[in-house]
Structure 1
């Protein structure tokens, strides 16, 4: 009885992973549980950009790459990039929240992980501090 329940739960999880989560996303390589499609970096595709070229030729200019359980939609055509990020940029604002950031930093804090007003404030503060330490000053010319 327990075996049947575990088997049913496993089948539900696999259905969720391989079909339900992928149904509204562009095509891409089949993700593995826990790894996503990161296993593809172990293939003989060195340097790394060769992998992206291979995926583009196989799936087209827009495809999905899975970083563990997080889908990343990659756009590799210049016209599509211009359309999506310049004309429809408001739809693509933000960065993904990685679980490790939530665990270590308790949120998307820092110049790299933040965006919007928080990013503007932190960038201003960082530039102010760096200028106090000499960023942008040509100290050799002053001496």
Structure 2
């Protein structure tokens, strides 16, 4: 009885994994991924050591063309190569490609607010407009702000030179942020 339950549980898990890696509708072609690992095994082994997946992605590119998809782990990723494909995606169809991948944890933490991690849409446009207006009111883009930034930069460089490589990073990062 226990063996049957384990087999059923394994079957359900495998079924879930295979359903999860199904390509979404209108998704670019690409190599078939392996559950959990995606297409990591199809990339060159040098990818793991050098962090440069050049050879592995070149092999996939020669087979599938300038627009293809690969799975890094369980995450589907669309890869664009070639100037024509990049221009079409980033200029011609900019609104379609302007979104960001959503993470459930980050979405819960920021509660739909923010500009940097927000998905492109009306709320993002409103937040961006508000942020730019506020920054302009504080002097962004004005000559006085440039002088302040240059003064802080000179102070930071002086502290780095004074420390001779033994400068406390916490204080320097505070100077950069404030």
Normalising to structure 1: TM-score of the pair? 0.69
Q: How many residues are aligned here?
A: 134
* Change in CA separation of 1:37 and 1:85 when aligned onto 2, cut-off 3 Å: same
Aligned to 1:74: 79
* Change in CA separation of 1:115 and 1:17 when aligned onto 2, cut-off 3 Å: closer
CA–CA distance in structure 2, aligned partners of residues 22 and 118 of structure 1: 26
How much has 1:15 moved relative to structure 2?
Answer: 2.4
SS at match of 1:73: strand
- Alignment map for 1:55-74 (pairs within 5 Å): 55-60=56-61, 61-66=66-71, 68-74=73-79
* Change in CA separation of 1:106 and 1:65 when aligned onto 2, cut-off 3 Å: farther
How much has 1:120 moved relative to structure 2?
Answer: 1.9
Q: Which structure would you say has the larger Rg?
A: 2
Aligned to 1:2: 5
How much has 1:131 moved relative to structure 2?
Answer: 1.8
* Of 112-121 and 21-30, the range deviating more from structure 2: 21-30
How much has 1:103 moved relative to structure 2?
Answer: 2.5
Task: Structure 1: state its 5+ residue gaps.
Answer: none
- Alignment map for 1:1-143 (pairs within 5 Å): 1-18=4-21, 20-21=22-23, 24-28=27-31, 30=33, 33=36, 43-46=48-51, 50-51=52-53, 53-60=54-61, 61-66=66-71, 68-107=73-112, 109-112=113-116, 113-139=118-144, 140=147
Task: Structure 2: state its 5+ residue gaps.
Answer: 148-178
* Change in CA separation of 1:122 and 1:59 when aligned onto 2, cut-off 3 Å: same
CA–CA distance in structure 1, aligned partners of residues 35 and 7 of structure 2: 23
- CA-based RMSD: 3.3
SS at match of 2:69: strand
Normalising to structure 2: TM-score of the pair? 0.58
